[in-house]
Amino acid sequence: MAKTAWQRIGLVLGLLVILVWCLLPVAWIISLSFKSAASITVGNPGFFPAKGTGAGWDNYKQVWDNEQFRHAIWNSIGISLIATALSVALATLAAYAIARLDFKGKRLVLSVALAIAMFPVVSLVGPLFDLWRAVHLYDTWPGLIIPYMSFTLPLAIWTLSAFFREIPWEMEQAAQVDGATSWQAFRKVIVPLAAPGVFTAAILTFFFAWNDFVFGISLTSTERARPIPASLSFFVGADPFNRPVSLIAAGAVIATIPIVLIVLLFQRKIVAGLTSGAVKG
């Protein structure tokens, strides 16, 4: 009995250490977002701004009133949603074909797809920079959507193919016996059954596109297509040698809110999508 109590205490302490370790950077960024530039300059050690130093919610208002920031938010939303929709649609069709059809080189296709997903992003920036300038895709939405899809499609195909393999082939055959065409059976029977996998692929794709910094800062030169992570690096303020840390922190908090909301609202579906495809039966 005593051993069980000590095990519970150890488990609680371990969880607390992990929570503090993971949440401390988040708490520190939030605290910086409420401090004034003067408070940060003099090294205010607390988590919250000292009284009389100003700032607070004014930092968030100042960031949101910045036209550059609002344009970057719009770029991130549009680019991420388009990349997610295209990647999930193409990955669903490709994963279904890989799971259901027997053809030569199927394993090779999956291996190449996984290798592409693991390819270093930095190594592609230079060639893409030259190529995009030559074909006039530099500093455009398609110039970011295509690289995002190149890295998220393989991962989405791997995730979805595992779900399609778990769906009994007889269910699709039964739908066709009842008069459904192959496309109707796929759309109305197979895809709804693989919904957890489709949702997981969409979430992973959206997270990659929303959080990307390397492509965003390398393949854009103006606010026309620059996403929010890259745009935050251009917040220099009046003095380029004294960065407005509090404003950057406030912008980072605002940019993180959509991701946090998605995780909180759909955490059950995310967990189901990440686990159910790996369990047979």
Q: Is the pLDDT of residue 30 over 80?
A: yes
| Total domains present in the chain | 2
Is residue 172's pLDDT more than 90? no
Confidence of residue 32 (pLDDT cuts 50, 70, 90): confident
30 and 126: one domain?
Answer: no
pLDDT at 112: 79
Is residue 3 situated within a structural domain?
no
Instruction: Verify that 124 and 39 share a domain, yes or no.
Output: no
148 located within any domain: yes
Q: Are residues 83 and 46 in the same domain?
A: no
203-212 residue pLDDT tens: 888 988 999 9
Reported confidence tier of residue 123, pLDDT bands at 50, 70, 90: confident
pLDDT exceeds 50 at position 161: yes
Is there a single domain that holds both residue 178 and residue 113?
yes
Structural domain includes residue 5: no
The CATH number that applies at residue 93 is 1.10.3720.10
Q: Which residue blocks in 135-244 are alpha helix, DSSP H?
A: 141-166, 169-177, 182-185, 191-193, 195-211, 214-218, 228-232
In a domain, 60, yes or no: no
* pLDDT of 137: 92
Note whether 220 and 189 are same-domain residues.
Answer: yes
Residue 51 has pLDDT above 60, yes or no: no
Does residue 4 lie within any of the structural domains?
no
pTM comes to 0.82
What pLDDT score does 210 carry? 92
**In a shared domain, residues 93 and 156:** yes
Q: Are residues 220 and 114 in the same domain?
A: yes
In a domain, 61, yes or no: no
Question: How many Cα neighbours within 13 Å face the side chain of 137?
Answer: 16
- Same domain, yes or no: 33 and 153: no
pLDDT of residue 238: 57
Pairwise CA distance, residues 170 & 173, whole Å: 5
Q: What is the pLDDT of residues 109-118, one digit of tens each?
A: 777 777 777 7
> In which domain, by residue range, is 37 found?
10-55
- How much is the pLDDT for 191? 81
What pLDDT score does 280 carry? 45
Average of per-residue pLDDT across 64-89: 91
- Chain centre to alpha carbon of residue 9: 35
One domain for residues 39 and 150:
no
Determine the residue type at 56.
G
pLDDT at res. 85: 92
Position of tokens 């390398």? 218
